Chain A
Amino acid sequence: EVQLVESGGGLVQPGGSLRLSCAASGFTFSSYWMHWVRQAPGKGLVWVSRINSDGSSTSYADSVKGRFTISRDNAKKTLYLQMNSLRAEDTAVYYCAREIGVYDAFDIWGQGTMVTVSS
């Protein structure tokens, strides 16, 4: 079964750090570009970051640039999001998603992991 499973969320104080993981199974992880998307409570979906298949190219939303780092370990079939200098407005469910096709749609999503930034 093709699957993505996130982990690493939790409660963190403002200014703190957290690393999210996304474990892939059922497909050749190293062949796909991957993304992080977040959703604040009761709000819509917001794209966060993208990484290409070999990890050599990344993109970020302006709201997280310089604070978040996306990376991957293809040997471990795992995607990461290192989040530093966390703010209250980073509170959200974080989803990882697989990109497919010429039109870069997100066909497989994880179940999400909740990050709460609060003192």
Chain B
Amino acid sequence: DIQMTQSPSSLSASVGDRVTITCRASQSISRYLNWYQQKPGKAPKFLIHAASSLQSGVPSRFSGSGSGTDFTLSISSLQPEDFATYYCQQSYSTPYSFGQGTKLEIK
């Protein structure tokens, strides 16, 4: 099974900051990497697929990059609504594993 490891597990930042979250796969997954945002008590929201393709309606301040085993999610200028938990997920092979999550908090 493929293991996904996110770092950091938590992150404090201010409105307007640029932040980057890293996701590493235990083996190469090509570009089969997706990102989701989850707010407390809500279902996850789909942000990015294929490592870097933004889902329709997602603000352009979100971006993704990477291939193989190393991936990043960046938010260029944090807005108040961006404070949430972010998960990466590999869809290269089942079981479709998720990272443990990165909680983005307001500083």
Would you call A26 an interface residue if the criterion is a C-beta within 8 Å of the partner chain's C-beta atoms?
no
Closest chain A CB from B90 CB (angstroms): 9
What is the interface size of chain A, counting residues whose CB is below 8 A from a CB of the partner? Answer: 24
Decide if A62 is an interface residue (CB 8 Å cutoff). Answer: yes
A95 to B96, CA, bound (A): 14
Asked if A59 and B94 sit within 8 Å, CB to CB, the answer is yes
- Whether A45 contacts B87 by the Cβ 8 Å rule is yes
Question: For chain B, what secondary structure do more than half of its interface residues adopt (helix, strand, loop), or is it mixed?
Answer: loop
Instruction: A102 to B31: give the CA distance in the assembly, Å.
Output: 11
Q: In the complex, what distance in Å separates the CA atom of A111 from the CA atom of B45?
A: 11
Q: How many chain B residues touch A (Cβ–Cβ < 8 Å)?
A: 25
With A95-B44, A110-B43 given, is the CB distance from A105 to B98 under 8 Å? Answer: no
Q: Quick check: A35 and B87 within 8 Å, CB to CB?
A: no
Contact residues of B with A, CB < 8 Å? 1, 31-32, 34, 36, 38, 43-46, 49-50, 53, 55, 87, 89, 91, 94-101
Taking A59-B94, A109-B46, A112-B43 as known contacts, 5 extra A-B pairs with beta carbons closer than 8 A to each other, sorted by chain A number, are A35-B96, A61-B95, A101-B49, A103-B91, A109-B43
